[in-house]
């Protein structure tokens, strides 16, 4: 039987994850009391269910030590289990709690930040044991669903890294959460070509114009080589989230063109989460 334990930070997306797993054919239970897990598995094995997923999180704070003992015991038998840990930045979690106006389970005094800090401390050992760690800070609901489908439905190889390729315009400011920023304003600018000005880097004629010279070709070769070198090392280092931003003046032509080209290159062999965003293309 396939058994998945879903856990992680409050506000990181466990509700969405549970619904997704149910859609994928898993028998799902939320907030499972730790002491009931052995009996739960015994009942499932006697029945027809071949896949099960449960959520165990900080709501079971007083039983987390019991969970550790259970996990260590199950390592000695043939029953397989996998742990999925959902995480997000403190800033993202605080924002989500304020938007939903819900109280954090560990913030009895009303300070969400204190609750998040206590929760990280309590769940730190579980995150280290996790088979999959998904940082949902920049994920939309559909992104999280796609990631879970990749892991648990398509049986695709997976690395604990989620890469966001982002285009932006310098006139609107540099993205605050970007890990790597590349200025591509040295590339040919379609803005000064009348028939291209109203178009974007999503259109082939704009891409052809931007990539028309030797500097553009060499830049892309060097850039792709750099990312091919760095990303595996970020994975080895344990990084869960990587935002690579490309900026031009308005965020509509050159940055979009380069972002799309990088996304296409990485997608060919990506065994990690990958998505692309164009933050200023409509501005």
What is the pLDDT at residue 77? 58
What is the pLDDT at residue 156? 53
Q: Verify that 148 and 225 share a domain, yes or no.
A: no
Q: Verify that 148 and 262 share a domain, yes or no.
A: no
- State the DSSP string of 140-179: -HHHHHHHHHHHHTS-----S-EEEEEEEEGGG---TT-S
Average pLDDT over residues 169-184: 95
Average pLDDT over residues 129-137: 91
Q: Which residues of 95-115 are buried (b: 16+ CB within 10 A; e: fewer)?
A: ebbeeeeeebebbeeeebeeb
Establish if 157 belongs to a structural domain.
Answer: no
Residue 213, pLDDT > 70, answer yes
In the chain, the percentage of residues whose pLDDT exceeds 70 is 96
Average pLDDT over residues 203-207: 97
Out of 131, 152, 173, a domain closes at: 152
Establish if 283 belongs to a structural domain.
Answer: no
CA 202 – CA 252 distance, rounded (Å): 9
Q: In what order do the strands lie in the sheet with 241-248?
A: 180-183, 241-248, 162-169, 273-278
Question: What residue numbers bound the domain in which 139 lies?
Answer: 2-152
CA 84 – CA 135 distance, rounded (Å): 11
Q: Verify that 112 and 27 share a domain, yes or no.
A: yes
Q: Verify that 111 and 244 share a domain, yes or no.
A: no
> Phi/psi of residue 211, each to 5°?
-95, 25
Q: Verify that 68 and 94 share a domain, yes or no.
A: yes
Q: Verify that 147 and 182 share a domain, yes or no.
A: no
Total count of domains within the chain: 2
Q: Verify that 92 and 184 share a domain, yes or no.
A: no
Residue 157, pLDDT > 70, answer no
Q: Verify that 29 and 58 share a domain, yes or no.
A: yes
Using the 8-state DSSP alphabet, how is residue 17 labeled? H
Residue 78, pLDDT > 60, answer no
Tens-digit pLDDT profile for residues 216-241: 999 999 999 999 999 999 988 878 88
Establish if 29 belongs to a structural domain.
Answer: yes
The per-residue pLDDT of the chain, averaged, comes to 90
Is the Cβ–Cβ distance between 115 and 105 less than 8 Å?
Answer: yes
Contacts of 133 (CB under 8 A, 6+ apart): 85, 87, 127, 160, 240
**45: its two tokens:** 């094995």
Query: What is the pLDDT confidence band of residue 75, given thresholds at 50, 70 and 90?
Result: low
Out of 152, 181, 197, a domain closes at: 152
Establish if 116 belongs to a structural domain.
Answer: yes
Residue 283, pLDDT > 90, answer no
Q: Verify that 13 and 119 share a domain, yes or no.
A: yes
Establish if 118 belongs to a structural domain.
Answer: yes
Q: Verify that 6 and 88 share a domain, yes or no.
A: yes
Establish if 61 belongs to a structural domain.
Answer: yes
Q: Verify that 53 and 143 share a domain, yes or no.
A: yes
Tens-digit pLDDT profile for residues 88-119: 999 999 999 988 888 888 887 668 999 999 99
Task: Using CA atoms of 251, 257, 263, 269 in order, give the dihedral in degrees to the nearest 10.
Answer: -160
Q: Which residues of 28-46 are buried (b: 16+ CB within 10 A; e: fewer)?
A: bbeebebeebeebbeebee
Q: Verify that 137 and 166 share a domain, yes or no.
A: no
Residue 48, pLDDT > 90, answer no
In the chain, the percentage of residues whose pLDDT exceeds 90 is 67
């Amino acid at each position: 039987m396939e058994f998945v334990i879903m856990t992680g930070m409050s506000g990181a997306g466990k509700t969405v994850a549970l619904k997704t797993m149910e859609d994928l054919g898993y028998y799902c239970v939320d907030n499972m009391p730790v002491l009931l897990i052995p009996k739960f598995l015994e009942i499932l094995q006697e029945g027809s269910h071949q896949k099960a997923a449960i959520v165990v999180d900080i709501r079971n704070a007083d039983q987390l030590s019991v969970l550790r003992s259970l996990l260590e015991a199950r390592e000695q038998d043939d029953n397989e289990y996998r742990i999925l840990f959902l995480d997000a930045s403190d800033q993202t979690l605080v924002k989500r709690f304020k938007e939903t106006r819900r109280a954090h389970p560990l913030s009895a005094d009303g300070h969400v930040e204190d609750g998040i800090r206590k929760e990280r401390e309590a769940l730190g050992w579980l995150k280290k044991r996790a088979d999959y760690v998904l940082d949902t800070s920049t994920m939309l609901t559909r992104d999280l669903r796609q990631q879970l489908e990749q892991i648990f439905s398509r049986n695709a190889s997976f690395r604990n890294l989620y890469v966001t390729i982002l285009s932006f315009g310098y006139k609107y400011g540099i993205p605050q959460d970007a890990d790597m920023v590349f200025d591509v304003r040295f590339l040919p600018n379609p803005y000064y070509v009348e028939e291209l000005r109203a178009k974007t880097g999503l259109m082939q004629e704009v891409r052809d114009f931007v990539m028309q010279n030797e500097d553009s070709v060499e830049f892309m070769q060097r850039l792709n080589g750099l990312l091919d070198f760095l990303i595996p090392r970020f994975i080895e280092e344990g990084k869960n989230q990587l935002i690579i931003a490309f900026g031009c003046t308005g965020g509509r032509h050159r940055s979009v063109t380069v972002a799309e080209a990088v996304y296409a290159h990485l997608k060919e062999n990506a065994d990690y989460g990958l998505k692309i965003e164009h933050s200023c293309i409509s501005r």
